[in-house]
Amino acid sequence: MAGLADLIGQFNNVTYVVLMMIGFYAMTGKRNLVKKLVGMNIFQWSIILFVVSLSAKRDATIPIVLEGNNAGALPALEAAQYVNPLPQVLMLTAIVVGVAITGVALALLLRIYKRYGTLEEDQLLERIRLTG
């Protein structure tokens, strides 16, 4: 069943594109600024999903050396038995950076709301035009 195996491998890729489009729609099509931020979060996590999916393998375990392999002086590592830890570690950095971006954006939203009293984009542009 090579066809089914190939199809199973594509689920994550299709979902990553779908999630990315949902996030992109929220960022461009919605007028509420909090909604735009929610869309940005979904967009970020879709990209993280794509990169982590690159490291996944069938019939592989988490990247920690099994104790049974360590009987001799050096552990006999079989790379096909472990998922690839490099994309996962890179995406850890991306998650932390994403939370920092979200925090700064939310602080900016609070300042905008204090000054203009709204978070809707069209009303906001009108009030900016009126008050300068």
Q: Does 12 bind another protein (CB under 8 A)?
A: yes
Q: How far is residue 128's CA from residue 132's CA, in Å, rounded to a whole number?
A: 5
Instruction: Name the token pair of 75.
Output: 């552990």
Is 39 an interacting residue with respect to another protein (CB under 8 A)?
Answer: yes
Cα separation of 43 and 23, whole Å? Answer: 5
Q: Is 117 left (phi over 0), alpha (psi -120 to 50) or beta?
A: left
For the segment 92-111, give every residue that binds another protein (CB under 8 A): 92, 95-96, 99, 102-103, 106, 109-110
Q: How far is the CB of 72 from another protein (least distance, A)?
A: 26
From residue 47 to residue 86, the character string flagging contacts with another protein as x (rule: CB under 8 A) and all else as - is -xx--xx-xxxx-xxxx-------------------x---
Binding window for another protein (CB under 8 A); candidates: 70-78, 89-97, 124-132: 89-97
